[in-house]
Amino acid sequence: MKLAIFGAGYVGLSFAACMAEAGHEVLCADADAARIEGLQQGRMPLHEPGLEALVAAGLSAGKLRFTADERAASLHGDVLFIVVNTPADAQGDVDLRHVMAVARSIGQHRDRDAVVVCKSTAPVGTAEQVEAVLRAALSQRGAAHRVAVAVNPEFLREGSAVRDCRQPDRVVIGATDPAAIDLLTRLYEPFVRDPAKQLLVMDWRSAELTKYAANAMLATRISFMNEMARVAEHAGADIEMVRRGIGSDRRIGPDFLQAGAGYGGSCLAKDVRALRHAADREGQPLRLLAAVEAANHEQKGRLFELMTHHFEGRIANKTIALWGLAFKPDTDDMRDAPSLVLLERLWAAGAHVQVHDPAAMPNARAIVGERGDVRWCDTPEDALQGADVLALVTEWPVFRRPDLARIASTLKAPAIFDGRNLYDAAEVEAAGIAYYGIGRGRSVRR
């Protein structure tokens, strides 16, 4: 098939490269001309494992092309995907300007029938608006092409975007138009083992709400575990044992039960906020999600609280080695990252910070600039030099098996604040390092 994809971000680019790999002729458009120019020359705008090779393969096979020309993209192919950013403000009001700009552009340029698919995460009712904008733009120039709209939310995770695109757990197809259902079914069939079970066809509104409900459920599980971690800490229990204990119940399942420094990233927080806002407007306040948000807000401050406890409030002039900045491993994405909260608190308390992250330092620098007292370090070891203690915020593989003896001899007051429960507390303590985890009981009893 010939596919046009609007948006070359984390989702659009991963999706475009995977579709090109599957043999489709993909034209990927972005409003950011510099991004497109870079991509045309093989330069990646973001870090996502396996994606660079896939983009290169698509380019050299001639299956994947990039353009900044919205007209060219609007004229390309059978199915046109809208995969642009849909930010939400602090109240949860979603900005649909980019989605509507693409819809308008397709309506202004399209010269034949089309299926237009909304893959961006957008509130219930957006597909209706997209259809109205498309129709208005077509009729303004007297065009009578048939344009069917579908909703096809994306569930990939950053850090495993390529794998998730190649092997989705399920594909939600929100459409009632038979041609749209047929095209999307044929497109996705090769990506799932059992199409009858994994391709879920439903109406627009249910598809739109499914996306928000999925992210809200994931956020709820994380906040639940972070609250249980607090209970564990005070009760002298270990949340890691509790996690295994409940995750082995098939009704609960083992995934997304990891207590930590709070959930970050571009979507969980944004989508919970947007869902609450939409429900509020319908007069249906979501009390559970209000608590999920509040718990996450508190959790992002947890590592700082543990440090305050350790230093008995005297953090000024202490030097903190910080391992990990990205909101999760295998990405350079700093959007809503818990590390940003920790950095601000440390700076406000007068601490010096020495950080290392394998991929996110350029993006982090662009956000915090030289605002606080920070040294950007090329290696994890460099970040330890001259530091009092170590805090881990992102569980990158490179931090998994550190040389504990070396940490003990390098840190001035050896202590590890493990924001992702990555380390074995007994091993760390045996090396002569104080250990603070999230919900590991021992931290508070000390």
Ligand X SMILES: NC(=O)C1=CN([C@@H]2O[C@H](COP(=O)(O)OP(=O)(O)OC[C@H]3O[C@@H](n4cnc5c(N)ncnc54)[C@H](O)[C@@H]3O)[C@@H](O)[C@H]2O)C=CC1
| Interface with ligand X in residues 248-267 (CB under 6 A) | 266-267
Residue of 3, 4, 5, 8 interacting with ligand X (CB under 6 A)? 8
What values do phi and psi take at 72, rounded to 5? -60, -40
CA distances from 240 to 215, 330, 398 (A): 23, 23, 21
Which one of residues 19, 46, 103, 268 is an interface residue with ligand UGA (CB under 6 A)? Answer: 268
> In terms of CB distance, is 260 or 414 closer to ligand X?
260
Q: Sheet holding 415-418: strands in order across? A: 374-376, 352-356, 319-323, 389-392, 415-418, 434-436
Three-state DSSP at 83 gives: coil
Contact 246, 257 (CB under 8 A): yes
- Which residues, at least 6 apart from 401, have a Cβ–Cβ distance to it below 8 Å? none
Residues 357-376 that bind ligand X (CB under 6 A): none
Between 253 and 285, whose beta carbon lies closer to ligand UGA?
A: 253
Name which of residues 306 to 325 contact ligand X (CB under 6 A): none
Known binding residues for substrate are 155-158, 211, 256-260, 264, 328
Subset of 201-220 contacting ligand UGA (CB under 6 A): 215, 218
Element of type H or E holding 355:
strand 352-356
Sign of CA dihedral 88, 91, 97, 102: positive
Among 3, 4, 5, 9, binds ligand X (CB under 6 A): 9
Q: How far is the CB of 322 from ligand X (least distance, A)?
A: 24
Decide: is 16 part of the binding site for ligand UGA (CB under 6 A): no
Count the residues of the shown chain that bind ligand X, applying the rule CB under 6 A. 27
Binding partner at 419 among ligand X, ligand UGA, none, C-beta below 5 to 8 Å by kind: none
Q: How many CA atoms lie within 13 A of 341 on its CB side?
A: 22
Q: Is 165 an active-site residue?
A: no
Instruction: Give min distance, CB of 126 to ligand UGA, in A.
Output: 15
Interacting partner of 260 out of ligand X, ligand UGA, none (Cβ under 5 to 8 A depending on kind): ligand UGA
Q: Which is nearer to ligand UGA, 220 or 266 (CB)?
A: 266
Residue 198 vs 410, nearer CB to ligand X: 198
Q: Which of 260, 283, 265, 4 is nearest to 121 (CA)?
A: 265
Choosing among ligand UGA, ligand X, none, which partner's interface includes residue 328 (Cβ < 5 to 8 Å by kind)?
ligand UGA
Q: Which of residues 52-111 bind ligand X (CB under 6 A)?
A: 70, 83-86, 98, 101-102
Return the range that interacts with ligand UGA (CB under 6 A); candidates 39-47, 84-92, 260-268, 372-380. Answer: 260-268
**Core vs surface per residue 291-316: b (16+ CB within 10 A) or e:** ebbebbeebbbbbbebbeebbeeebe
Query: Measured on CA atoms in the order 251, 254, 259, 260, is the torsion positive or negative?
Result: negative
Q: What ranges in 319-369 are assigned the alpha helix state H?
A: 338-348, 361-368
Phi/psi region, residue 369 (left: phi>0; alpha: psi -120 to 50; beta: rest), is left
| Cα four-point dihedral sign 345, 350, 351, 356 | positive
Residues 6+ apart with CB under 8 A from 385: 354, 410
Chain residues 145-184 in contact with ligand UGA, contact rule CB under 6 A: 154-158
Given the rule CB under 6 A, which residues bind ligand X? 6-12, 29-32, 35, 70, 83-86, 98, 101-102, 120-121, 154, 156, 158, 266-267
Given the rule CB under 6 A, which residues bind ligand UGA? 121, 154-158, 215, 218, 222, 256-258, 260, 263-268, 327-328
Active-site residues, by number, are: 267
